[in-house]
Amino acid sequence: MSIFNHFRKEELPFVERALEMLTLVERKQSMRLTDFLDPRQLSILQSLSSQVQDVTVSASGGYEGAERVRALLHPDYFVVEEADFGLTLLHIQADQRFLTLQHRDVMGALLHVGLKREKFGDMIVGSQGCYVVIAAEVADFVCSQVTHIHRVPVRFEAVDWQDFQPPEIRFAEKTVTVPSPRVDAVIGEVYNLSRAKALVPIRAGKLKVNWKIVDDPAHALQAGDMISLAGFGRFRILEVSGPTRSGRLRMIVGLVT
């Protein structure tokens, strides 16, 4: 069986590029730094490293718990330092008295100036301020080109990682009861959608479970799973218990705020 049979069709271009990078590092005993990867892409890259010898995949998103990371492919003997990942932390300075910046606002501004999504990592919006992790090679470009977000003047300034305290992921807990752990039933309860309406985005490939596209409405969810539905947001299954007296499962989910 071909290794490509283990992945979904839309993942194959990334799988091919990953194998090329790993093979190149193995053959030349060199290093290769990727753009930012989501957790699913990192998982694929790490699994493919078994296809080569003496090559290690190291990863960093700038801080512990970062979701999007850059991966460094290198020979086993190479000692990796944080500077090797080429990460810059930018603080977004803005007057937010009349507009509170959200993740989508920051992302829209970066994409608007022509920056590819693969060139920036996590966007951290919290009580400590607004930050974005950027590939070092495009940091100066962002600082010079992004001057407004929704007509609000902004300024991006590089800051030292030692001065940054990443916030904890905040969840708004919600308790739902479902007839089964099927993903269509769960997202229907979480987002108040009928089963028919829940099927539409699932069939369209807009649902991800643990960052992997899932288009099977019967896919069973379990505690710890992270679910994202385009246009609706993300939530994590925090706890599954039951059945209730009516035979339904009780789930506590945490909506990412």
91 and 75 in one domain? no
115 and 61 in one domain? no
98 and 72 in one domain? no
Share of the chain above pLDDT 70, in %: 98
Instruction: Give the residue from 163, 187, 214 where a domain finishes.
Output: 163
Residue 135 has pLDDT above 90, yes or no: yes
Residue range 57-84, pLDDT digits in tens = 999 999 988 999 999 999 999 999 999 9
Q: What's the token pair of residue 33?
A: 């730094």
Instruction: Give the residue from 163, 183, 212 where a domain finishes.
Output: 163
Q: What's the token pair of residue 96?
A: 């937010």
Closest by alpha carbon to 251, among 233, 227, 231, 216? Answer: 227
**Cα(83)–Cα(215) distance, integer angstroms:** 39
Residue range 182-208, pLDDT digits in tens = 999 999 999 999 988 999 999 999 999
**Cα(248)–Cα(167) distance, integer angstroms:** 35
**Cα(100)–Cα(171) distance, integer angstroms:** 19
CATH of the domain at 150: 3.30.70.330
251 and 179 in one domain? yes
Backbone angles phi, psi at 64, to 5 degrees: -65, 130
Residue range 233-254, pLDDT digits in tens = 899 999 998 788 888 999 999 9
pLDDT at 165: 83
Domain that holds residue 132: 87-163
Closest by alpha carbon to 92, among 102, 83, 82, 84? Answer: 102
Backbone angles phi, psi at 205, to 5 degrees: 75, 25
Tell me if 82 sits within 8 A of 60, measured CB to CB.
Answer: yes
pLDDT at 127: 66
CATH of the domain at 45: 3.30.1370.160
25 and 92 in one domain? no
209 and 247 in one domain? yes
CB atoms within 10 A of CB 108: 12
What number is the average pLDDT over the span 124-149?
Answer: 90
pLDDT at 124: 87
109 and 71 in one domain? no
Residue range 1-59, pLDDT digits in tens = 578 788 889 999 999 999 999 999 999 999 999 999 999 999 999 999 999 999 999 99
Domain count, the chain: 3
135 and 94 in one domain? yes
Closest by alpha carbon to 115, among 203, 233, 35, 174? Answer: 35
175 and 248 in one domain? yes
pLDDT at 118: 96
CATH of the domain at 204: 3.10.290.10
- Sign of torsion over alpha carbons 225, 65, 232, 37: negative
Instruction: Give the residue from 137, 163, 189 where a domain finishes.
Output: 163
**Cα(22)–Cα(73) distance, integer angstroms:** 7
Q: Which pTM does this prediction carry?
A: 0.84
226 and 181 in one domain? yes
183 and 158 in one domain? no
193 and 141 in one domain? no
Backbone angles phi, psi at 92, to 5 degrees: -95, 115
